[in-house]
Amino acid sequence: EKYFKECEYRNRDGQTISLAAIYRALSNQKYTGTVERQGVKYDNIFPRLILDEIWNIVCKIHEENKHAPSRKKEVFNYLLSGKLICGDCNQKMVGISGTSKTGDTHYYYACLSRTRKKINCNGKPI
């Protein structure tokens, strides 16, 4: 992803190419030139953009990651997530956590637009 940012590669919307977009392209079988519809395989429908060796490596990694444990399990149950409304932008508030300098974890609710940085919200987390 850093490489694409440094080279200033962009998608058709003008945004930098994300890691998720690269993963989707590498895991989409149509880029190998093969399409399967209703159990029937069609070859050379699309131009081949990914070699079979790369496709097999990506499939193997994907299969290994399928069974990997999740990175973080949330131990705090945010009962009011989606039920609280931000007083500034009228968006839903969701539960998030933060770690202080001392290592203590604090749980609180913040505006969804603030956490996703969609719009400028001046509402304070509670």
pTM: 0.44
Cα–Cα distance measured from residue 78 to residue 11, given in angstroms and rounded to the nearest whole number: 36
Q: What is the largest CA-CA distance in the chain?
A: 59
Q: Same domain for 79 and 51? A: no
Q: What is the pLDDT of residue 84?
A: 92
Q: What is the pLDDT of residue 72?
A: 66
Q: Same domain for 77 and 126? A: yes
Q: Same domain for 61 and 86? A: no
Look up residue 125 and give its DSSP letter: P
- Domain of 116, in residue numbers: 73-126
Q: Say if residues 114 and 123 touch (Cβ distance below 8 Å).
A: yes
Q: What is the pLDDT of residue 73?
A: 65
What mean pLDDT, rounded, does the chain reach? Answer: 84
User: Strand, helix or coil at 98?
Assistant: strand
Q: Same domain for 61 and 6? A: yes
Q: Same domain for 96 and 60? A: no
Burial 45-56 (b: 16+ CB within 10 A, else e): eeeeebeeeebe
Number of domains in the chain: 2
Q: What percent of the chain has pLDDT over 70?
A: 94
Question: 109: pLDDT confidence band, cut at 50, 70 and 90?
Answer: very high
Q: Same domain for 60 and 95? A: no
